[in-house]
Amino acid sequence: MRHALVTGAAGFIGSHVAGALLADGWQVTGLDSFDPFYDPSVKERNVAPHLASGAYRLVRVDIRDASGLRERVTGNYDAIVHLAARAGVRPSIEDPLTYTDVNVRGTHNLLELARDRAIERFVFASSSSVYGEDPDVPWREDAHVLRPISPYAATKVGGELLGHVYSHLHGLRFIALRFFTVYGPGQRPDLAIHKFSRLLLDGRPIPVYGDGTTSRDYTYVDDVVQGVCGALAYAGTRYEVINLGNDRTITLAGMIAELERVFGRSAVVERFPEQAGDVPRTWASIEKARRLLGYEPRTSFAAGIERFAEWLIAGRSSGSSGASRSVQLR
């Protein structure tokens, strides 16, 4: 049985990846610190279904704790899927040192673990934020100059470069996947689609920074998981950086309109100035992912929002995602 160490396994993307690997016959050791960046009870619910599997083990440890990793992460592994990180562009501006500590030192610790245990495959969650304000869209992985404009983005560049070092020196197969605005059931409560949906359902104003014309390449979580599994199967070059996006953009105003449609509610928008660290748009070229990983996003934004809305309403009705409220989806 193949065995994967999945960091950030209790988070949004990590729990989806762990579930997919278990369904595909992998043994999974999930690693998470249950950091209180958002309510840890959300993460507890994410891992609950996996704990019933005899092929799943959960280790609660901080990736900054090198000795804890060596002592508690036992066993032999075919791959590390490193999704753990201190997330968020705006908070990183307020606390850049913590972001560097978690995202760079923590990644370095895991690379050392891979070297010590002779784990030959390392899949790293990078971010579209590394491109910053690059005006040349859609963004391609061979862009010669990255323009990160937040500490969070800089830490992801750092993780990619550390991976190159370990690939070069120690023969590690390191695949950095640049995620583009992942959404879907289980999305973190601080992210825009989830946050805006709750505000809309509660009849509260939605904060919009700027004029609503900023745009994002929204990528449904099942499509991202497909890309992660493709990276685990990739047997080509030792080092690659690959975009996982949807190859199309949706404006902020368009995203809100889609939420209005699916929930059957009109949004009250409260406008604020643009915030430091926010990029005007993200847009992925996914030709490389198609070529190397067989990646093909299949979920339209409208369909993805509908599935997210169904999950959110089900959670609210059961009391696990806010106050119960009767909502008829359209």
Share of the chain above pLDDT 70, in %: 96
Q: Annotated catalytic residue: which of 77, 99, 131, 152?
A: 152
Average pLDDT over residues 216-245: 98
Mean per-residue pLDDT of the chain: 94
pLDDT by residue (tens digit) across 187-203?
999 999 999 999 999 99
DSSP 70-127: HHHS-S--SEEEE------HHHHHH-HHHHHIIIIIHHHHHHHHHHHHT--EEEEEEE
116, with CB counted inside 10 A (0-12, 13-18, 19+), is exposed
User: What confidence tier does 324 reach under pLDDT thresholds 50, 70, 90?
Assistant: very low
Q: Could you tell me the residue ranges of all domains in the chain?
A: 3-180+221-244
pLDDT by residue (tens digit) across 43-72?
999 999 999 999 999 999 999 999 999 999
Which residues neighbour 266 within 8 Å (Cβ) at sequence distance 6 or greater?
A: 260
The pLDDT score that the predictor gives to residue 328 is 52
Of 143-152, 215-224, 249-258, the range with the lowest mean pLDDT is 143-152
pLDDT by residue (tens digit) across 149-167?
999 999 999 999 999 999 9
pLDDT by residue (tens digit) across 69-118?
999 999 899 999 999 999 999 999 999 999 999 999 999 999 999 999 99
Contact 278, 209 (CB under 8 A): yes
Which residues neighbour 265 within 8 Å (Cβ) at sequence distance 6 or greater?
A: 200, 201, 203, 259
pLDDT by residue (tens digit) across 114-139?
999 999 999 999 999 999 988 889 99
pLDDT by residue (tens digit) across 214-226?
999 999 999 999 9
Residue 326 scores a pLDDT above 50: no
Share of the chain above pLDDT 90, in %: 88
- Paired tokens of 244: 């996982």
Average pLDDT over residues 204-212: 94
pLDDT by residue (tens digit) across 280-303?
899 999 999 999 999 999 999 999
CB atoms within 10 A of CB 214: 19
Residue range 3-180+221-244, CATH number? 3.40.50.720
- Please confirm, yes or no, whether 295 is among the known catalytic residues: no
Put simply, whether the predicted model's pTM sits higher than 0.85 gets the answer yes
**Cis amide leading into 138 (omega within 30):** yes
